[in-house]
C-alpha cells in the first residue's frame, strides 16, 4: 500500500489500496460484507451504547435475522419491510438481512405523524414493520390500516406488549435450521428511500445493491477513510447520508461504525471523545448549532480529524478548525437520487461555498460520474453561466417506486435532472445557485431563496430564516421573509433589512417580513417552503416594509 502525505504529515493509505485489502466481490451487500468478514472477523464493526459487535458477530446476527425473515415471516425476494425508529443497530442488521434474501428495506422518519407514515408504508406496500418503542403506536395504527397480513415488531424491550425482534429471532433460531435463500443479483433493490416531498407527496427512490456498494466504496475516496477509521453516525438512518456514507463507508474501509441514537448538540463532543470517533458527517444545521453551543460542552480530547458537511459558512469553518480543532471540513453536494457525485477534493484545494468537483470511485475501472449544466431548452450553457444540473452516474437510483410518471419526468435522455441551478467557476468547481423551484422572480430578476435563507440566517439574533415568493401587485412576485429568532432575542424588521443591505443587492431585499415561532422542516431538515406558502395567515401577519418606509 502506498502512503499519501496529509497536511499534518501523517501517512494515509490510498483509497484504492484500502479497498484492495479485500477480496473481489459480486457488488451485492452480502458479498461486500463477506469480503470484510473474511479479512478481519474479530475486528470491531459496530459500537452502540457500550456494546461492541465484531464483524463476525454482525454477520452472524444478519444471518439469523435473514433466516427468521425468510422462514418464519415468509419474506421473500422483492418484498419490502418498513422501519420507523431512531438510530439503532437493528436497522443496520435488517438492511443487510433483507438484502441477503432479495428483499428491500424502507426506512422512514420516526417523527412522522400517522398520516405521513401511513402514506409512505402504504405506497411502499410493506409486509412488515420494525419500530422503536416510541413509534409503536404509529406503527400499530399503520399495520392495522394496511391489513392483518402486515406484521409488527419492536426493536427494543419495553412495556409495550409487542414482540421484539431479538426475541422472535432467538425463538426461531432454536428451531431446526433452514438456510435463507440468497440473492445473486447486484441489480436487486436494496433500499427505497422516500424523498422529503417539498412539492407534494414523497417519492420512493430505489437503490440497487450495486449502487449502494459503489457509493460506500466511493466515500472511502471522498474522505480518505482509513482501515482503523471510527465513523461517528449521528444523522438518521432513514437518510441516504447515514445509510450509504456513514454505514457503508465505515464497512467499506473495514473500520468501525460508532452509532449515536440521535444527534445531540449538548453531548456531541463528549460522545465523540468517549467513542474515539475519527470522522463524522453532518448537515449544515447541525454544524451551525454546534458552532453556537456553549464552549463548556466541548471536549478537547476528541480524535475527529475530518467532517463531511455542507453547505459551510466562514464562521462555521473558523469555529470547527480553530476552536474545535477539526483540520478538514469537506463541502459536498448530493441528493437522495444521486449519492456520491460531487465534493471538494480531500487534498484540496478546498473552495468554501462550492459544491466541489466530480468525485470518482477510487477504482478507475468504475465509470466516472458525468455532469452537464443546461438551459431550459436542454442546451449546454456558456462557461460560467447558470443552468440546471444534469447527472449521469453509476450510483443513480433505479427510479421512483410505483411512479412511472415522476420517474420519466426526472430523466432527460438518460441524464437525471436535479432541479438545481448551478454554475461552474473558472477552476471548474460547481457552485450552487438555487433550486429551480426556489427561485423568486422579482422585477425581472431571479432571486435565490436559498441565498436569502443563508444571509439572513447569519444574523446574530436569527435562528433560521426562509424566503418565499408571494404574488406582486403588478405580476411576478415579491419576497416574503419568515424569521425564527433565537430564544430571548428579536430584531425590528427595519433593523434586519438595514443589516442586510451591505450583503444583498437592493432587488433581493424582502418586501415583507414576518416573525414565526418555528420554521417548518422537511424530514431532511430543509425549510418546508411549501408549508409556508400554504399558511394563509403568514402574509396577513407580515409587515410590509414598502408601506413602513412611507
Q: Residue 464 is part of a domain; what is its CATH number?
A: 3.30.300.30
- Residue 304's φ and ψ, nearest 5 degrees, are -65, 125
Residue 56 lies in a domain: no
| Grid cell of 353 as nine digits | 461555498
Residues with Cβ < 8 Å from 349, sequence gap 6 or more? Answer: 427
Looking at the domain assignment, is residue 318 inside a domain?
no
10 with 168: CB under 8 angstroms?
A: no
Q: Which three cell numbers stand for residue 27?
A: 457488488
Cell numbers 415468509 correspond to what residue? 74
Return d(Cα 301, Cα 17) in angstroms, integer: 30
pLDDT for the residue numbered 200:
61
Is 505 within the bounds of a domain? yes
Residue 426 burial (C-beta neighbours within 10 Å; 0-12, 13-18, 19+): exposed
Q: The dihedral of CA 413, 414, 419, 421: what is its sign?
A: negative
Q: Cβ neighbours of residue 303 under 8 Å, at least 6 residues apart?
A: 230, 272, 273, 276, 277, 278
Q: Does residue 543 lie in a domain region?
A: yes
- Confidence (pLDDT) at 10: 60
**In a domain? residue 495:** yes
Task: Give Cα separations from 29 to 381, 395, 430 (angstroms).
Answer: 39, 14, 32
pLDDT at position 502, please?
84
What's residue 2's pLDDT? 43
Q: How far apart are CA 160 and CA 145, in angstroms?
A: 19
- Cis peptide leading into 349, omega within 30 of 0? yes
Confidence at residue 180, expressed as pLDDT on a 0 to 100 scale:
63
**What is the tens place of the pLDDT at every residue in 31-86?**
999 999 999 999 999 999 999 999 999 999 999 999 999 999 999 999 999 999 99
57: closest CA among 102, 96, 4, 20? 96
Q: State pLDDT tens for residues 348-391.
A: 999 999 999 999 999 999 999 999 999 999 999 999 999 999 99
For residues 335 and 418, the answer to whether their CB atoms sit within 8 Å is yes
Name which of 28, 143, 166, 142 is nearest 94 in CA terms: 166
Q: Is 145 helix (H, G, I), strand (E, B) or coil?
A: helix
Q: Strands 51-54 and 44-48: what pairing?
A: antiparallel
Q: What is the pLDDT of residue 197?
A: 52
> Structural domain of residue 495, as residue ranges?
443-548
The crossing angle, in degrees rounded to 10, of helices 449-457 and 493-500 is 110
Tell me how far the alpha carbon of residue 509 is from its chain's centroid: 31
Task: Assess if residue 468 is contained within a domain.
Answer: yes
Phi-psi region of 249 (alpha: psi -120 to 50; beta: other; left: phi over 0): alpha
- In this prediction the pTM is 0.86
Q: Is 513 domain-assigned?
A: yes
C-alpha cell at 110: 420516526
The list of the chain residues with pLDDT below 50 reads 1-9, 198-199
Q: Which residues neighbour 83 within 8 Å (Cβ) at sequence distance 6 or greater?
A: 91, 94, 105, 106, 107, 108, 129, 130, 131, 237, 238
Q: Give every CB contact of residue 23 below 8 A, 6+ residues apart in sequence.
A: 35, 38, 39
Structural domain includes residue 424: no
Per-residue cell: 419: 432541479
Query: Measuring CA to CA, how many Å separate 390 from each of 117, 211, 381?
Result: 31, 18, 12
Into how many domains does the chain fold?
Answer: 1
Amino acid at each position: 500500500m502506498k502512503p499519501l502525505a496529509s497536511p499534518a504529515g501523517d501517512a494515509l493509505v490510498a483509497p484504492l489500496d484500502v479497498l484492495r485489502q479485500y477480496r473481489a466481490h459480486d457488488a451485492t451487500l452480502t458479498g461486500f460484507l463477506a469480503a470484510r468478514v473474511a479479512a478481519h472477523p474479530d475486528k470491531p464493526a459496530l459500537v452502540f451504547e457500550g456494546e461492541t459487535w465484531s464483524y463476525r458477530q454482525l454477520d452472524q446476527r444478519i444471518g439469523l435475522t435473514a433466516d427468521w425473515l425468510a422462514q418464519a415471516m415468509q419474506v421473500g425476494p422483492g418484498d419490502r419491510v418498513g422501519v420507523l425508529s431512531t438510530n439503532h443497530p437493528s436497522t443496520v442488521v435488517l438492511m443487510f438481512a433483507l438484502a441477503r434474501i432479495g428483499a428491500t428495506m424502507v426506512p422512514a422518519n420516526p417523527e412522522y405523524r400517522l398520516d405521513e407514515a401511513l402514506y409512505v408504508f402504504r405506497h411502499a406496500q410493506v409486509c412488515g414493520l420494525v419500530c422503536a418503542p416510541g413509534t409503536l403506536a404509529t406503527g400499530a395504527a399503520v399495520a392495522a390500516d394496511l391489513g392483518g397480513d402486515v406484521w409488527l415488531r419492536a426493536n427494543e424491550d419495553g412495556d409495550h406488549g409487542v414482540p421484539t425482534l431479538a426475541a422472535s429471532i432467538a425463538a426461531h433460531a432454536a428451531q431446526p435450521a433452514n438456510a435463507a435463500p440468497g440473492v445473486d443479483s447486484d441489480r436487486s433493490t436494496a433500499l427505497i428511500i422516500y424523498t422529503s416531498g417539498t412539492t407534494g407527496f414523497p417519492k420512493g427512490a430505489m437503490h440497487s445493491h450495486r449502487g449502494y456498494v459503489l457509493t460506500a466504496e466511493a466515500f472511502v475516496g471522498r474522505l480518505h477513510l482509513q482501515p482503523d477509521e471510527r465513523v461517528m453516525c449521528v444523522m438518521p438512518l432513514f437518510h441516504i447520508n447515514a445509510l450509504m456514507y456513514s454505514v457503508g463507508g465505515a464497512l467499506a474501509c473495514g473500520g468501525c461504525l460508532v452509532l449515536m441514537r440521535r444527534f445531540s448538540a449538548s453531548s456531541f463532543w463528549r460522545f465523540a471523545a468517549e467513542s474515539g470517533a475519527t470522522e463524522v458527517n453532518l448537515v449544515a444545521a447541525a454544524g451551525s448549532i454546534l458552532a453556537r453551543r456553549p464552549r463548556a460542552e466541548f471536549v478537547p480530547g476528541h480524535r475527529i480529524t475530518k467532517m463531511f458537511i455542507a453547505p459551510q459558512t466562514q464562521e462555521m469553518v473558523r469555529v470547527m478548525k480553530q476552536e474545535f480543532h477539526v483540520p478538514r471540513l469537506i463541502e459536498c453536494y448530493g441528493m437522495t437520487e444521486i449519492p456520491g457525485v460531487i465534493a471538494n477534493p480531500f487534498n484540496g484545494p478546498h473552495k468554501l461555498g462550492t459544491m466541489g468537483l466530480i468525485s470518482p470511485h477510487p477504482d478507475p475501472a468504475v465509470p466516472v460520474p458525468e455532469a452537464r449544466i443546461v438551459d431550459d431548452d436542454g442546451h449546454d450553457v456558456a462557461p460560467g453561466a447558470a443552468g440546471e444540473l444534469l447527472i449521469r452516474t453509476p450510483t443513480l437510483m433505479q427510479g421512483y417506486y410505483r411512479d412511472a410518471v415522476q420517474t420519466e419526468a426526472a430523466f432527460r435522455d438518460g441524464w437525471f435532472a436535479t432541479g438545481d441551478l448551478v454554475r461552474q467557476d473558472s477552476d471548474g468547481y460547481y457552485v450552487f445557485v438555487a433550486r429551480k423551484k426556489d427561485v423568486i422572480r422579482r422585477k425581472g430578476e431571479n432571486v435565490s431563496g436559498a441565498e436569502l435563507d443563508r444571509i439572513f440566517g447569519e444574523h446574530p439574533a436569527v435562528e433560521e430564516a426562509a424566503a418565499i415568493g408571494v404574488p406582486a401587485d403588478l405580476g411576478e412576485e415579491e419576497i416574503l421573509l419568515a424569521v425564527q429568532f433565537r430564544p430571548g432575542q428579536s430584531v425590528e424588521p427595519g433593523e434586519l433589512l438595514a443589516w442586510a443591505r451591505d450583503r444583498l443587492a437592493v432587488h433581493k431585499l424582502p418586501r415583507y417580513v414576518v416573525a414565526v415561532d418555528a420554521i417548518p422542516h422537511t424530514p431532511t431538515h430543509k425549510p418546508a417552503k411549501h408549508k409556508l406558502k400554504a399558511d394563509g395567515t403568514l402574509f396577513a401577519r407580515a409587515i410590509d416594509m414598502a408601506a413602513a418606509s412611507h
